[in-house]
Amino acid sequence: MMDKTPQNGPLAGIRILDLTKLYPGPLATMMLAEMGADVIKIEDPAAPDPMRFYPPYIADQSAGFLAVNRSKRSLALNLKIPAGRDIFFKLATGADIVIEQFRPGVVDAMGIGYERAKEVHPGIIYVSLTGYGQDGPYSRQAGHDINYIGYSGILAATGTALSGPVVPGPQLADVAGGAYMTIIACLSAVWARGKTGRGQRVDVAMLDGVLPLMTLQMAHSLATQTNFAPQDAPLSGGLAHYGVYECSDGNFIALGILEEKFWKHFCNWVNRPDWTDQLFALGEEGEKLRAALVGLFKTRSRDDWTKAAAGLDVCLTPVCGIGELQHDPHLSARGMIIKQSHPVCGNISGIGMPLKFSETPGPAARPAPSLGQDTASLLSEIGFQPDEIAALQEEGVILLA
């Protein structure tokens, strides 16, 4: 059994074999790595993670790949041949978690599925991340984020009556339904294993995982027996005092008031005490309030409104563009924008780890690895000699960077 690489962070001592690719799985495993887990990213030497080749590029590296594969070690291993599978299972004996992102049945057909893995390590946790889950009528369908949010009702609820459905800016199903749910699956199963001593398989479906984002919308719809049109649900544009407004400079401001005390503060601040009794106004009254707010916010620039509202508890904030995030003082103070040196790309920035642990802070982020960067060292850790490693390279079992 290989020694586990010393790490800092709450997940120090946890080893993860990462078979995921593209966005949701790699984002999850990167966050787990930056909580201290030793994540070994396993890729086919002849068909590595496609994200490595997706534009845009920084130098000759995919910006997307760099963004979601920090802090991992890279093993280029051909799992289609017996020698590659033997190495996988040798690694699995010293691992805690396997995370895979193939369609249902693929890992079993490859000979590396959960039933086989638990034979070599009964405590192994095997997390399977798919679009639609391991069973059900859609389970074998292909899909991506837009398909999952389409099934979930999110896409229909996003937009206006004039525009129809509008694709959201972020990939909600990939991140909230995929990456975050994968992390929850890993931590829950590790906790359960600590009590029972047994590993298990966890079925994570992005469609299932994204549905909780519609919890309030479904509750409101069932309570009112209404299928809300886009922008009509209370927190999706229906309430005038919970919406986005254009300012005099063409930028936008977000007003997000739900509590009576904040609404009173706002009405007094803008010298409109007559609006005080219009909290939760809908219908014609709500549209009159919205029209008045449209005129109000057009009188000043976004930054003027932001500065004037600072410290007033009126829930008025700027709508920031992605290019502004690196310069946000709060995000910088929170360590949410990180900078690191990459051996090929030079200095690059990215989004940092969102969880802050007082007693077990995670390790500093490391740049995303090149394909097979750690193949030799990982094989050495499980007992392979240099001549054996060279032979595996010759036989096409591995790729050495």
pLDDT score recorded for residue 7: 65
pLDDT score recorded for residue 1: 44
Tokens 């009556």 correspond to 161
pLDDT score recorded for residue 125: 98
Q: How far apart are the C-alpha atoms of 84 and 82, rounded to whole Å?
A: 5
Q: How far apart are the C-alpha atoms of 219 and 221, rounded to whole Å?
A: 5
pLDDT digits (tens, 9 = 90+) for 282-297: 889 999 999 999 999 9
Q: How far apart are the C-alpha atoms of 286 and 259, rounded to whole Å?
A: 16
Q: How far apart are the C-alpha atoms of 347 and 62, rounded to whole Å?
A: 14
Torsion over CA: 30, 335, 6, 195 (sign): negative
- Two tokens at 395? 């036989």
- Average pLDDT score over residue span 251-257: 98
pLDDT digits (tens, 9 = 90+) for 6-34: 468 999 999 999 999 999 999 999 999 99
The closest alpha carbon to 368, from 9, 67, 100, belongs to: 67
Whether residue 56 has a cis bond before it, omega within 30° of 0: yes
pLDDT digits (tens, 9 = 90+) for 81-106: 999 999 999 999 999 999 999 999 99
Q: What angle do CA 129, 134, 140 make, to 5 degrees?
A: 95
- Average pLDDT score over residue span 361-371: 94
More confident residue, 1 or 219: 219
pLDDT digits (tens, 9 = 90+) for 31-42: 999 999 999 999
37 near 14, Cβ under 8 Å? yes
Q: How far apart are the C-alpha atoms of 106 and 305, rounded to whole Å?
A: 54
Residue 384, phi then psi, degrees to nearest 5 = -75, 140
pLDDT score recorded for residue 3: 47
pLDDT of 191 > 90? The answer is: yes
Percent of the chain with pLDDT over 90: 91
| DSSP 8-state secondary structure symbol assigned to residue 211 | G
More confident residue, 133 or 162: 133
Q: Which amino acid is at 37?
A: A
Kindly list the structural domains of the chain, giving each domain's residue range(s) and its CATH number in brackets, ordered by start.
15-212+340-399 (3.40.50.10540), 229-324 (3.30.1540.10)
149 near 168, Cβ under 8 Å? yes
Q: What average pLDDT does the chain have?
A: 95
